[in-house]
Every structure is written in structure tokens, then in C-alpha cells.
């Protein structure tokens, strides 16, 4: 590289740093600017000569992360300094102790929380999950840790194109499974939305591009509609003397795609793609809540509301601090339009979440909600013996993507995750209440402990001093607090059964002149579908797993040359001695053709992909390559926790082998309708059906058809031809197949 290029790069770095200082509204005192400059110079020197995969200077990454933290999240001086230094300990010779001496204990602690673990945990555990656990441990002490991590993840997602394909899937899956819900939980709507969109763009680029084009086309079409819709609202608010803005927006690409998947609808039938937001400045010292309702009244004088679509998060804010009034009203041309009403304070908190609360210290209840959530995470972290993947699942359950409001007998509100049971609520109120709970009254009706609560329920917990905790409670509680408290009670008993189970297995193997080793354990765990070694021992000790079929399990052969190549390409070692001299191959996308029969791979039972689907492979501990659809929730979870075992894969078109697919079909019930569509399937399209189940009620029929199909093209043609039949209303593929 020439001196001119180096000088140009240095000018770019300095220019970016000056922009950072300008964007950081909370770093403007001389003392704060000096501290930020000191951190920048140290990071710049520490990362000298380092470059990212894209070829750009590495220092530009921490600079951009610090800018996101300052401008998009609203962190102050300490947060910006920690963002600038977040990779220094991990990638350079500086230590946490060095940073502590230079910048103080708080900044050093934040950077330490952002530094990945290396070689300090059981290698059988998931590296991704263990790193995430460490991150959360530090977050409980200082929430800025996770806010900076979200800024780091956002910049990595924005610059993901330079990474190899299998790493892109790993990072995108982890983002969608953990970081986007985490941003949502912290109220960072803008960041959550962008993370979701970027994940979709990575995993399904064609779908993302198609939807982007459709949204752009509809934006042009909707401009006039939005102007006509908001004109009378603006005229009324001006007359009332409000300072305000009315803006129209489309739902994010990911949220549109998600709704299309859930409801099985095309883009054109998603009616609430458009939303109007009214943001205003309160006046006359009236309460914000009062003015929001007054504005709602004015708007519904002009446009009639849809009764079942009113959402009041002003009276009862969401647990992440979100406040607004949402309603769906009938606009011009007979179109439903979602309208959101919020003050400027509410709007900033909606975009920046808890990070915006430093500006609004009079609203302390929002911080207390954060404190409650951090306390729940602390409950999760309090069990050091828990398996890292189990921890990740429990944490995911407690992100509260869907929340509900539960009322106590005295009218107090408890925010609980959707799906929580009466016993979960008992533990949420107090641990002793959970231990003594024998049932509950929901809306004055007696229900069992396992009763699943619904938003708005009023619940009275019933207890008995004779009640003792039961291990099978773990089968229906969902919250981290309830699970952790129940497990604590049975810790000693579980420990004894684990030791017994290990002894029983050892004795069974000893009779065959074998000893316990990781290869044997993985075979037994895989056979019984158990991820955790201790759980296997526990079930053996408890007697729920018998070892009668041990010879059959141990005789299972799972490896072949084709799989070994993909293990090497992923850098996963194998027990075979001959493999130790081979070097990992550079990973290429796996091309699946009809020459690769079923002995080479397994079709995932959770999503049943067929040729033509976007797929990826997961290489499990038993050398089995399992093919998943990229949109499969299980695949997203695997990418987030076992990303190093993900194989990029493409599926060539098949015309010989057939794969099981499932379609749902509905329409107007009439004589001969079943014969019509079965004729199209069997005769016209030459497709074999495995089973058909049709139910008719009130003049409407609905059903499911299982059939064997060569590829996605044939399936789409079949659906297209079925939709031509008069009386057929909807035909859609179901990816969740019950086999």
C-alpha cells in the first residue's frame, strides 16, 4: 500500500472520530471529550495494522459501534469509551487490568463483559451460549454492556456481506433468535426492526428483495392515500393548537414476511401494512394520558374505529416501557389503517427504549420494570450447574416477546409472558407462595396449577401448608424464576440420582468390557434425544431410561467419507486417527443431487424441506447431516447456539426421488368438490397422495393432504392448478408436518 493510500485512510479515520464527537450529545464537556479522545487513541494504536474481512481498517468498526451507541441508542461518555475499547482486550495485548488502571473499574468491567470467553469452559458446551451467558452476567451489573453489544451486532449485520456464507447464516440465526428479541425487550424498536430485516436479507435474499420491491411500489401508490387520510387530522389538530407531526410508514419487511408466514397470506392480502403515527407535544400542563385520549376522540370523530383493535399502552405501558394508543380505523376507499398516538417523550422511548430514560427521570416506574427484568435474568444466572443450551432456551422464554397483564385480587398488575401458568404467577409473586401453591381461582373459578393464564385474568393463588414442591412441575412452568426455584429444591435429590445413573451405566458398559467415554455417551444421548449428559444420568438413575437396548445403540454406525469431508470443512475433529493428518478444507456450499441418497443425509422432521427450498445442513455429534429449511425455528435456534456445525447447502432439482409434503385446502362445500381436486392431484399432476382429511361445516370445507412431491416447482404448479378450481378459496403449503 502506498503512503498516499495510508494517509487517505488515516484522514478517513480522523474524520469518522470527529463525527463521533459531534454525534455524542452527552460528551460535549472538555473533560468528556478528552476522555473519549484518549480512548480512541488507545484503540487506534492497539488495532494498528489490523483489517476486517472487507479489507477496511479495523478501527473503523469500534468507531462505528461507538457512533451507534451514542447517536442511535443515546449512551453517554462511559458507554462511548467502552464501545471504542470493546475489542481491545480480545484482539490485542491489552488486559482488563490495563484498562482498569487507565480508565477506571467501571469501563474495564463493561469491556470485560463484552470480551468473549476462550478456553475456560467445558468444550462439550455451546461456545455461543456460554459467551452469551457471560455477557448477561455483566449486564445484570450494568445494562450498558448489552446496549453496546447490540450496537456491535447491528454494525456486524450491516457489514455481513464480506463473511463466508456459513458464517453469515450463523450470525443471522443468532441475531434473529436472541439479539432482535433482546432489543425488543429493551424497547429499542429501531434497532430490533433493522436486525430482523438484515437477518431476513441474509437468510432469504430473494424473498427480502421481492418484498422490498413490493413495499416500494405500494409506497408510491399509498402517498396520495396517506395525504388524503391525514389532511383532516392535521387541520383539526392545528385548530386545537397542538404542535405535532403526522407521518405514514409501512411495516418492516420482516414483520410483513412474518405475518404472511403465520397467516398463510400473500403480500396483497396483508391489510395493515400501512400505519399512521401521530406524535405531539403536550400542552396546557394536562396529563399526557388525558391528551392522548382526547386526540383519539378527535380522530375517531373523523374515522370509525374497529372495536377489537384498540390497544391501550398509555394506561398500562408494556414491560419494556413502551407507551402509546393504537387503533385501527376505516379510512378512505374502505381501507383499514392502523393509527398510533404518542407524545414526543413516548416516541423517543419507543425508538430508544430504556436507553432514553436518562432524559426523563420523572418517570421512574420504567426503570423499575427494567430492574424487575434484570432480577429475573439474575435468577437464571444463579444456577451455575445448568447446561448452557438449557440456559439459552430458558432465557429465550423470558424475553417476553409476547406479554400479558394479570391482575391480583387487589387489582395490582403483574406482567407475565404469554403461556405462563398459575404456578408461574405464584412464584413470580413470592417463592414461598409457589412452593405452597395447590391451585388458583381465575376470574373466581377454581383451576389447577397448570392452567394457562390469559391477558386480563384476575388470579387468586390458593395455598396449603401441607403442599410440597414436585419435580413434575417443571413440565408445565415456563418462567425462569419458577424453573430455577423448583430445581433448587430437588438439587440434592437430583445429584444423588445422577451419581446413581452414572454408576448404573458404568456397570452396564463394564459387562461389555467398555468404559464411559464421550463417543459412547453421544450415541446414547442421540438415541434418547437428550442434549445434556447429566440429564441422561438422571433419567437412568430415576429408572425412566432402561439400558436393555444398549448393544443395539452401541452398534450404530454413523460415519462415512462424505460426512467426514464436511466435518473437516467445518474444522470439527473426528475420533478417527487417519483424520488427524488432514487439514480442514475450505468450506463450499454443499450441492445435493439425486446421487446423494438418504444414507448421506436426513430430512428434518420439524420442517420437512423438499428440493427447491432454501436449506442448510446441521452436522450433529453422531456425524449425521440433517437438512433444515432456513426459515425453520429449530434451524434458527441451531444457528444461534451451534453455528460452527452449520453447512451451507443447495438442492438441485429432483425428478426421481419423492419427498413428503403437506398442503391445507379450504373453500365452499359443494357436491363433487373433493373429486375435482383429487383428480387434479392424481391424474393431471401425476402426484401420489399418502392421506387426505377433509371436514365440512356450515357450507365450508377445510382439509389437509399429505402427498409425495419431487420438488418445490412441482408443488407450486400443483397449488396453482388447484386454485383454478371453482369453489376453492385457499391452498397453502404447511411446513410443520406431523409424521
Q: In angstroms, rounded to a whole number, what is the distance separating the alpha carbons of residues 200 and 206? A: 10
- The string of pLDDT tens digits covering residues 370-380 is 556 666 666 65
Q: What is the pLDDT of residue 555?
A: 77
Q: Which CATH class is domain 402-489?
A: alpha beta
Please state whether beta strands 590-592 and 646-651 pair in parallel, antiparallel, or not at all (unpaired).
parallel
CATH, range 3-203: 1.10.3210.10
Q: What's the rounded Cα separation, in Å, for the pair 382 and 391? A: 11
Helix/strand/coil for 647 = strand
CA atoms within 13 A on the CB side of 513: 0
If you average pLDDT over residues 274-283, what whole number do you get? 88
pLDDT of residue 400: 46
| Residues sharing a CB contact under 8 Å with residue 594, sequence separation 6 or more, in sequence order | 652, 654, 655, 656, 657
Model confidence at 440, pLDDT cuts 50, 70, 90, reads: very high
What pLDDT is recorded for position 166? Answer: 77
Round to whole Å and give the CA distance between 5 and 8. Answer: 5
pLDDT in tens, 396-428: 555 544 678 888 888 887 888 888 999 999 998
Q: Please report the pLDDT score of residue 342 as a whole number.
A: 93
pLDDT at residue number 491: 80
Choice among 10, 41, 91, 97 that is catalytic: 91
What is residue 363's predicted lDDT score, i.e. its pLDDT?
A: 45
User: Mean pLDDT across the stretch 4-12?
Assistant: 85
Element (H, E) at 211: helix 205-239
pLDDT digits (tens, 9 = 90+) for 563-602: 555 555 555 554 444 443 344 444 556 677 655 555 567 8
What is the DSSP code (8-state) at residue 115?
A: S
From 65-69, 147-151, 594-598, the region with the lowest mean pLDDT: 594-598
Nearest Cα neighbor of 618 from 559, 564, 566 is 566
Task: Kindly state the average pLDDT of the residues 151-162.
Answer: 92
Q: Is the pLDDT of residue 321 over 70?
A: yes
pLDDT band at 654 (very low <50, low <70, confident <90, very high): low
> 510 is written with which cell numbers?
463394564
Query: What DSSP character marks residue 116?
Result: P
Task: Give the confidence band of 459 by pLDDT, cuts at 50, 70, 90.
Answer: very high
At residue 120, the pLDDT reads 34
- Cell numbers at 682, concatenated: 392424481
Please report the pLDDT score of residue 236 as a whole number.
92
Is the pTM above the cut of 0.75? no
Q: CA 441 to CA 461: how far, in whole Å?
A: 7
Angle formed at CA 388 by CA 639 and CA 383, multiple of 5 degrees:
150
Q: Which of 347, 403, 16, 469 is nearest to 185 (CA)?
A: 403
Grid coordinates representing 40 are 480512541
> Which own/partner contact pairs does 653-658 have at CB distance under 8 Å and 24+ positions apart?
653/611, 653/612, 653/710, 653/711, 653/713, 654/594, 654/611, 654/710, 654/711, 655/594, 655/710, 655/711, 656/594, 656/710, 657/594, 657/597, 657/710, 658/688, 658/708, 658/709, 658/710
What is the topology classification, in CATH, of domain 659-734? Alpha-Beta Plaits (3.30.70)
Q: What percentage of the chain's residues is helix, strand, coil (to nearest 5)?
A: 55, 15, 30
What are the boundaries of each domain within the chain? 3-203, 206-360, 402-489, 492-554, 561-650, 659-734
User: Do the domains 3-203 and 402-489 sit in the same CATH topology, yes or no?
Assistant: no
Q: What is the mean pLDDT of residues 75-100?
A: 90
Q: How far apart are CA 32 and CA 703, in angstroms?
A: 66
- Backbone dihedral region for residue 608 (phi beyond 0: left; psi -120 to 50: alpha; all else: beta): left
Q: Does domain 206-360 have CATH number 3.30.460.10?
A: yes
User: Are the C-beta atoms of residues 391 and 133 closer than 8 Å to each other?
Assistant: yes
Tell me if 318 sits within 8 A of 369, measured CB to CB: no
Structure confidence at residue 629 as a pLDDT band (50, 70, 90): confident
| 142 catalytic per annotation | no
H-type alpha helices, 543-586: 550-554, 561-570
Give the active site residue among 45, 90, 105, 582: 90
Average pLDDT over the chain reads: 80
Q: Percent of the chain at pLDDT above 70? A: 80
DSSP single-letter state for residue 490:
T
- As a whole number, mean pLDDT of residues 642-664 equals 76
pLDDT at 136 over 90: no
Query: Does residue 659 register a pLDDT over 70?
Result: yes
Q: What is the DSSP string of 33-50?
A: HHHHHHHHHHHHHHTTT-
C-alpha cell of residue 119 = 478456553
CA-only gyration radius of the chain, Å: 29
Task: Establish whether 91 is a catalytic residue.
Answer: yes
pLDDT of residue 40: 93
pLDDT tens digits along 661-685? 889 999 888 888 888 888 888 876 6
* Better pLDDT: 692 or 268: 692
Amino acid at each position: 500500500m502506498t503512503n498516499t493510500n495510508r494517509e487517505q485512510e488515516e484522514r478517513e479515520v480522523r474524520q469518522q472520530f470527529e463525527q463521533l464527537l459531534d454525534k455524542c450529545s452527552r460528551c460535549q464537556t472538555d473533560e468528556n471529550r478528552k476522555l473519549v479522545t484518549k480512548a480512541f487513541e488507545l484503540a487506534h494504536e492497539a488495532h494498528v495494522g489490523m483489517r476486517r474481512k472487507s479489507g477496511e481498517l479495523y478501527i473503523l468498526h469500534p468507531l462505528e459501534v461507538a457512533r451507534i451507541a451514542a447517536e442511535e441508542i443515546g449512551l453517554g461518555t462511559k458507554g462511548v469509551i467502552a464501545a471504542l475499547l470493546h475489542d481491545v482486550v480480545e484482539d490485542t495485548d491489552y488486559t482488563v487490568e490495563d484498562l482498569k488502571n487507565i480508565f477506571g473499574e467501571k469501563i474495564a468491567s463493561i469491556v470485560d463483559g463484552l470480551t468473549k470467553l476462550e478456553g475456560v469452559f467445558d468444550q462439550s458446551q455451546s461456545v455461543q451460549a456460554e459467551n452469551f451467558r457471560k455477557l448477561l452476567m455483566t449486564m445484570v451489573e450494568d445494562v450498558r454492556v448489552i446496549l453496546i453489544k447490540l450496537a456491535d451486532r447491528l454494525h456486524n449485520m450491516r457489514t455481513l456481506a464480506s463473511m463466508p456464507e456459513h458464517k453469515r447464516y450463523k450470525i443471522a440465526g443468532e441475531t434473529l433468535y436472541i439479539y432482535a428479541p433482546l432489543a425488543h425487550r429493551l424497547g429499542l424498536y429501531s434497532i430490533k426492526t433493522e436486525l430482523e430485516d438484515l437477518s431476513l436479507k441474509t437468510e432469504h435474499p430473494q424473498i427480502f428483495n421481492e418484498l422490498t420491491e413490493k413495499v416500494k411500489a405500494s409506497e408510491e401508490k399509498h402517498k396520495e392515500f396517506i395525504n388524503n387520510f391525514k389532511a383532516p387530522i392535521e387541520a383539526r389538530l392545528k385548530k386545537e393548537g397542538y404542535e405535532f407531526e403526522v407521518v405514514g410508514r409501512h411495516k418492516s419487511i420482516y414483520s410483513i414476511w412474518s405475518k404472511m408466514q403465520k397467516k398463510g397470506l400473500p403480500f396483497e392480502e396483508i391489510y395493515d401494512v400501512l400505519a399512521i403515527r401521530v406524535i405531539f407535544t403536550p400542552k396546557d400542563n394536562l396529563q399526557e394520558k388525558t391528551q392522548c385520549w382526547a386526540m383519539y376522540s378527535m380522530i375517531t370523530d373523523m374515522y370509525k374505529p374497529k372495536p377489537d383493535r384498540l390497544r391501550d399502552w398509555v394506561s398500562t405501558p408494556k414491560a419494556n416501557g413502551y407507551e402509546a394508543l393504537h387503533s385501527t380505523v376505516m379510512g378512505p376507499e374502505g381501507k383499514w389503517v392502523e393509527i398510533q398516538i404518542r407524545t414526543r417523550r413516548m416516541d423517543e422511548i419507543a425508538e430508544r427504549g430504556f436507553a432514553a430514560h436518562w432524559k426523563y427521570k420523572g418517570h421512574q416506574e420504567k426503570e423499575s420494570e427494567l430492574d424487575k427484568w434484570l432480577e429475573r435474568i439474575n435468577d437464571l444466572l444463579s444456577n451455575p450447574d445448568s447446561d448452557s443450551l438449557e440456559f439459552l432456551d430458558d432465557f429465550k422464554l423470558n424475553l417476553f416477546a409476547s406479554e400479558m397483564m394479570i391482575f391480583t385480587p387487589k387489582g395490582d398488575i403483574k406482567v407475565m409472558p404469554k403461556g405462563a401458568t398459575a404456578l408461574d404467577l405464584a412464584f413470580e409473586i413470592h417463592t414461598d407462595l409457589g412452593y405452597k401453591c395447590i391451585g388458583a381461582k381465575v376470574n373466581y373459578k377454581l383451576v389447577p396449577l397448570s392452567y394457562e393464564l390469559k391477558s386480563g385474568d384476575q388470579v387468586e393463588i390458593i395455598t396449603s401448608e401441607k403442599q410440597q414442591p414436585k419435580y413434575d412441575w417443571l413440565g408445565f412452568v415456563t418462567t425462569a424464576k419458577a424453573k430455577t426455584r423448583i430445581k433448587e429444591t430437588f438439587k440434592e435429590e437430583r445429584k444423588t440420582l445422577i451419581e446413581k445413573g452414572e454408576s448404573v451405566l458404568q456397570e452396564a458398559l463394564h459387562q461389555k468390557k467398555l468404559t464411559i467415554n464421550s463417543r459412547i455417551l453421544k450415541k446414547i444421548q442421540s438415541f434418547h434425544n437428550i442434549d445434556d449428559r447429566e440429564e441422561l444420568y438422571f433419567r437412568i438413575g430415576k429408572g425412566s431410561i432402561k439400558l436393555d437396548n444398549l448393544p443395539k445403540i452401541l452398534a450404530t454406525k454413523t460415519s462415512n467419507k462424505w460426512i467426514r469431508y464436511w466435518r473437516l470443512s467445518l474444522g470439527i475433529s473426528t475420533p478417527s486417527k487417519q483424520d488427524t493428518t488432514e487439514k480442514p478444507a475450505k468450506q463450499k456450499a454443499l450441492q445435493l443431487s439425486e446421487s446423494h441418497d438418504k444414507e448421506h443425509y436426513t430430512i428434518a422432521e420439524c420442517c420437512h424441506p423438499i428440493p427447491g427450498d432454501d436449506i442448510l445442513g446441521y452436522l450433529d455429534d453422531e456425524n449425521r447431516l440433517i437438512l433444515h429449511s432456513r426459515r425453520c425455528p429449530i434451524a434458527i435456534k441451531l444457528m444461534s447456539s451451534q453455528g460452527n456445525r452449520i453447512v451451507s447447502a443447495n438442492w438441485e432439482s429432483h425428478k426421481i426421488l419423492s419427498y413428503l409434503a403437506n398442503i391445507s385446502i379450504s373453500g365452499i362445500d359443494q357436491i363433487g368438490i373433493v373429486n375435482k381436486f383429487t383428480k387434479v392431484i392424481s391424474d393431471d399432476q401425476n402426484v401420489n397422495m399418502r392421506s387426505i382429511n377433509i371436514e365440512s361445516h356450515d357450507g365450508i370445507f377445510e382439509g389437509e393432504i399429505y402427498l409425495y412431491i419431487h420438488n418445490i416447482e412441482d408443488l407450486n404448479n400443483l397449488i396453482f392448478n388447484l386454485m383454478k378450481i371453482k369453489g376453492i378459496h385457499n391452498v397453502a403449503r404447511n411446513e410443520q408436518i406431523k409424521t
